Amino acid sequence: MSSTTPRTIVIAINPKADETKHTLQWAIDNFLNPDRDSVQLVAALCLESDLDAISLGINAGDLAGYLVGLEEENEGEITNLISQYAALLSAAHINHESVILKGHTDVRDIVVNYINDLKAHTLIVGSRDLGVWKRLWLGSFSDFCVHSVHCPVIVVKSPDAEEQ
C-alpha cells in the first residue's frame, strides 16, 4: 500500500474508560496521516437491558419511559465525549466522522459487525489493563476485537500499564 492510498481507520471509544483520550492522542502522534486517513470515532450503545421495574423501585408501567430516558441520557453523554475527541482530530487536520452505534446485543458484537461491514483498514482500541480476574469475568474488549475483526488491530496500552 502506498503512502497516499486512502485508509479508513476506526477508533473505538469507550465513554466510561479513562484511557480513551490517551488512545486517541497516541493515534494522532504515532499512526494517523492527515493526507490519507479518514477516521471514524465509534461508540456503541446496547439497547437491551436486564433491568426490571422491581429492581429499579419504579412502577412497571413506567419502565419503558424510564429506559428511554436512560438511553437518551447515555447517548447525550457519549455525544459530548465524542465531540471532545473529534476536536482533537480537527486540531490535527484529520478527516473524521463520529458514529454512535445502537443495537440489542453486546457492544463488542455491535462494534465488530460495524467494522467488518465497513471493511476498515485498521482498528485502534485502548486497553484498560484489566487484572486477571476482571479479564476472566468481564472479558477484554481489545482481545475480542483482535480475534473477531478482519483488519489489523492496534491496542494502545493505558498510561498506567506503561508505567508498570
How many structural domains comprise the chain? Answer: 1
Is 14 a residue whose pLDDT tops 90?
no
Domain holding 19, by residue range, is 7-163
Residues forming beta bridges with residue 156, ordered by sequence position: 126
Residue 87 located in a structural domain: yes
Question: Is 1 inside any structural domain?
Answer: no
**Calpha distance 117→111 (Å, rounded):** 10
In sequence order, what are the residues at sequence separation of 6 or more whose Cβ sits closer than 8 angstroms to the Cβ of residue 60?
53, 54
Host H or E run for residue 46 = strand 37-46
The CATH number of residue 151's host domain is 3.40.50.620
Work out the burial of residue 109: count CB atoms within 10 Å of its CB; fewer than 13 is exposed, 13-18 middle, 19 or more buried.
middle
Report the run of H or E that residue 124 belongs to, with start and end: strand 122-127
What are the tens digits of pLDDT across the range 48-99? 554 444 445 555 555 556 555 555 666 777 888 889 999 999 999 999 999 9
State residue 122's pLDDT score.
Answer: 98
Is position 149 within any domain? yes
pTM of the model: 0.78
Whether residue 132 has pLDDT greater than 70: no
Residue 136 has pLDDT above 90, yes or no: no
Q: Is residue 107 part of a domain?
A: yes
Residue 69 counted as domain residue: yes
